Amino acid sequence: MLPVAVDAMGGDHAPSAIVAGAQLASDAGIPVILVGRAADIGETDLEIIEASEAIAMDADPTKSVRSMKDSSLVRCAEAVRDGRASGMVSAGNTGAALTAATLRMRRIPGVARPAIATPLPNFGDDGTPNILIDAGANIDCAPELLALFARMGAIYARTRFGIEAPTVGLLANGEEASKGSPLTKAAFPLLEEAAWQQETGARFIGNVEGNDLLGKAADVIVTDGFTGNVALKSLEGAAKAIVAALLGAFDSSDDARKGAQLLLPALAPVYERMNPDTVGGAALVGVRGICMISHGSSSANAIFHAIKTAHELAESGLVQELSASLSEG
Amino acid sequence: MLPVAVDAMGGDHAPSAIVAGAQLASDAGIPVILVGRAADIGETDLEIIEASEAIAMDADPTKSVRSMKDSSLVRCAEAVRDGRASGMVSAGNTGAALTAATLRMRRIPGVARPAIATPLPNFGDDGTPNILIDAGANIDCAPELLALFARMGAIYARTRFGIEAPTVGLLANGEEASKGSPLTKAAFPLLEEAAWQQETGARFIGNVEGNDLLGKAADVIVTDGFTGNVALKSLEGAAKAIVAALLGAFDSSDDARKGAQLLLPALAPVYERMNPDTVGGAALVGVRGICMISHGSSSANAIFHAIKTAHELAESGLVQELSASLSEG
C-alpha cells in the first residue's frame, strides 16, 4: 500500500504534533510520508516530500491554493493525484484543504460538489458512529446536492463502517414530512425516490432532528454545510462544556476527588466514545482520492487516528465504490 | 398581579403534571388560573376557566386554532388579551400555541413576526443564561427578521436577566465576517448598524459559532428558526446522551456506585445548571402579552418554573419595553 501523505505544516501544533502523530502511525505499521519544509520538521526517520510554503490557518482558501503552488497542502493533494500517496491528512486551513483536494485530485464524475462526512459518536444501540454529511463544505446548497450527499453518505457508511443497509435521515426542525426549510422540503421527495435507495441499499427514513444526531434514529444524517457546521459545533460545544463542568466538580472537594478516583475506570469508556480524536475525523468525499480533514487543534493521537482512517479508506476502495455508483446514476 | 393562565390540557403528562405544577406555583404565592375541562382536571382548589376542547399535540396548528375556538390554548390566549391573566403557559402543541398567541393577543406594532427566545445554560463567566432567538417559530426568514430578532433578544436579555449592555452574536459557520449563509451575510450589515445598538444598549459582536451557544461569547445569539431549532435540539441531544452514559457508568460496578455517591453533592449544581426545567423555558416574544412555551414532556417542576417566569416577565414589563422600543424604530 502507498503511504499516506501528511501535511506537516498545517495545524495549531504543527509541525511537532503532526510529526509525532505520523511517527505513531509509522510505528503501527502504516506507511506515511511527511509533506513540508524539512528544516522545520527537524530530525525524523520518516520520508519527506519537500514543500517550501505553508498556507496560514486564516488565509483565503482559494487565493492561497492558487498562488502557493509549493505549499504543503497543495503538494499533499498532488501526491495523491500522482499516485505517490494513498490519501492525505491535514489539520491545516480547512477551506484550503477542500480547495486543494478538489482542484488537484478533481471530482469524481457525477459529483457536483464534494462534501465533508463527519462521524458522530452514537450512544444508541451498537455504538457504530453515525455520519453527518455535509458537515461544512457547501454553505449554499440546492436540493439536488442534498440528494447527492445522501448517496455519498450511504456509500461511505457501508465502505467505512460495514453498514450494508444504512438508514438515512434528513436533518430538519421536526420529524413530520410537513416540517422543514424550503431546502429540506424540496430535497425530501428526491430522497424518497426508490432508485438511489435500491442502488445503494440505503433506506430513507424521513426527517430527523438535532437530538437524533447521537442516537440510533439514522446511520447517515444529511444536511447542508451551514446547518451541519452549526449542529456539529453545537454538539462539540455541549460536550466540552459538560466535560469541563464535570472535571471542575470532580476536583471540588476531598470527597469528590475520592469519588472521581473510584469512578475513573467506569468513565474511561464513556470518554473514549465521545473523544473526537479516536472517532477518526472528517473525510472529504466526492474527490478522486482520500482526504482527511482534522481539527486545527489536533493532537498527535488525533493525527494518528486520521492517518489510520485514511489508510483504511484507501484500502476499502471508497473512491472506486463512489465512482461506480455515481457514474451509473 | 393578575394570575398566569395555564393550559391544563396541553402536554404529554396533561392534565396531571400541569395541575401539579400550577399548584406548586400557587403554593409559592404566584396567582394562577387553570384553563381546560374541569371534569378532566379533577379535584383542585385552583380557579378554572372552562374550555371544552383540547388541541392534540400533532394537530395542524393553524387549522386547529381557527376551528377549535373553545380549546384550552385559545382560551388561554384570550384570557391574556382580555386582561384576565398576566400571561399564559402551555406545554401543548407548540405551533398551535404560537398561532393562538399571535392571532388572539396580536403582534406588537413593528413586529413582523414573533420569535421564540430560549435561555441556554451558560458555562462561561457568571452563569447568566444566554438567549437563543429564534429557536423555532420562523423557519423561512428574511434578513430584516434577523435584525428584528436581535433587537427583541437584546430587550429580552435586559428585561429578563438585567443585562444592561447585552452582546449580540449572529450564529454562523465561522467567526470571520466573510463566513455565513446567504441569509446571515445579508443580515450582518443590518446588525452592524449603529442605530438599533444605541437604542437598545446592545453591542453586535459579529458571527458566533455553534460552540459559543453555551459560552460567554454573546448574551444573545440570533438565528433563523430552522437553524435555531436544529442547534437547540443538538445541544439537548448531546446533554441527554452524555448524562445517560454517565448514569450508566455510575451504576456499572460497586466501586463506581461508591464513587458516584461521594461525587453527588459536587455534581448536583452542574446538573441544576443544565436542567432545562429550572432554566425557565422558552418565551414567544413580539406578541402583546406573555406566552411561555414549555416542552411537551414537561414535569410539574418545569411547569412551575415556566409559570414563575411568566409571572416575572409580566411584572418586568417586557411587552411595554418591546412596544416602546419597536414603535420608535
In this structure, is residue A326 part of a structural domain? Answer: no
**Domain check: are A76 and A185 in the same one?**
no
Contacts of A256 in chain B (CB under 8 A): 262-263, 265-266
A249 and B262 within 8 Å at the Cβ level: the answer is: no
Q: H helices within chain A, ranges in order?
A: 16-27, 38-41, 61-67, 72-81, 94-105, 143-161, 182-192, 194-200, 225-250, 254-274, 276-279, 300-316, 318-328
- Residue indicated by cell numbers 469541563: A244
Joined together, the cell numbers standing for residue A298 give: 489536533
Contact A211 B236 (CB under 8 A): yes
Domains held by chain A: number: 2
Expressed as residue numbers, the domain containing B80 is: 1-107+286-316
Identify whether B321 is part of a domain: no
Asked if residue B248 and residue B165 are part of one domain, the reply reads yes
Name the packing angle between helices A254-274 and A225-250 (round to 10°). Answer: 150
Residue A278: what pLDDT? 72
Cross-chain residue pair B173–A225, CB shorter than 8 Å: yes
Identify whether residues A218 and A196 lie together within a single domain.
yes
Residue to test with chain A: of B232, B242, B243, B275, most A Cβ within 10 A: B242
The predicted pLDDT at position B93 comes to 95
- In chain A, whose CA is at the least distance from the CA of B244? A123
* pLDDT (tens digit per residue) in A139-151: 999 999 999 999 9
Strands B4-7 and B87-90: parallel
- Is residue B212 domain-shared with residue B303, that is, in the same domain? no
Does A252 map to a domain? Answer: yes
**Assigned domain for B99 exists:** yes
> Contacts of residue B234 in chain A, CB cutoff 8 Å?
210-211, 213, 230-231, 234-235, 238
A1 with A93, same domain?
A: yes
Cβ within 8 Å, pair B214-A256: no
Reported as a pLDDT band with limits 50, 70 and 90, residue A272 is confident
Is there a domain that residue A201 lies in? yes
Judged by CB atoms closer than 8 Å, whether chains meet at B215 and A237 is answered as: yes
pLDDT band for position A223 (50/70/90)? very high
Query: Which residue's C-alpha cell is 411587552?
Result: B319
Nearest to A210 among B181, B233, B256 (CB): B233
Statement to judge: residues B102 and B1 lie in one domain:
yes
Instruction: Identify whether the C-beta of residue A322 lies closer than 8 Å to the C-beta of residue A155.
Output: yes
List, for chain B, all residue ranges whose pLDDT scores fall below the cut of 50.
329
Let me know if residue A259 belongs to a domain: yes
B145, B70: one domain: no
Q: Of all helices (H) and strands (E), which one includes residue B33?
A: strand B32-36
Model confidence pLDDT, tens digit, residues A115-166: 999 999 988 877 789 999 999 999 999 999 999 999 999 999 999 999 999 9
Same domain, A51 and A65: yes
B117 plus B17 within the same structural domain: no
pTM for the whole thing?
Answer: 0.95
Question: Does one domain contain both B233 and B145?
Answer: yes
* Residue A140 placed within a domain: yes
Would you say residue B300 lies in a domain? Answer: yes
Q: Domain of A180: which CATH number? A: 3.40.718.10
Residue A177 CA to residue A136 CA, distance in Å, equals: 24
In a shared domain, residues A48 and A93: yes
pLDDT tens-digit map of B116-170: 999 999 888 777 999 999 999 999 999 999 999 999 999 999 999 999 999 999 9
Which of A225, A127, A102 has its CA nearest to residue A171? A225
A-B Cβ pairs (cutoff 8 Å, strict):
203
Q: Tell me the shortest Cα–Cα distance from A150 to chain B, in angstroms.
A: 18
Could you say which of A121, A263, A269 has the minimum Cβ distance to residue B250?
A263
- Strand B282-285 and strand B290-293: the pairing is antiparallel
Selection from A326, A233, A277 nearest residue A24 by Cα = A277
What ipTM does the predicted assembly reach?
A: 0.94
Shortest CA distance from A253: residue in chain B:
B266
Q: Cβ B266–A252 below 8 Å, yes or no?
A: yes
- Nearest C-alpha neighbor of B166 from the set B176, B153, B179: B153
Question: In this structure, are A116 and A240 located in the same domain?
Answer: yes
Contact B256 A263 (CB under 8 A): yes
By C-alpha distance, the chain B residue nearest A261 is B259
The residues that bridge with B221 in the sheet, in sequence order, are B132, B169
Residue type, A228: G
| pLDDT, position B272 | 81
Could you write out the DSSP letters of every residue in A194-237? Answer: HHHHHHH--EEEEEE-GGGTTSSS-SEEE--HHHHHHHHHHHHH
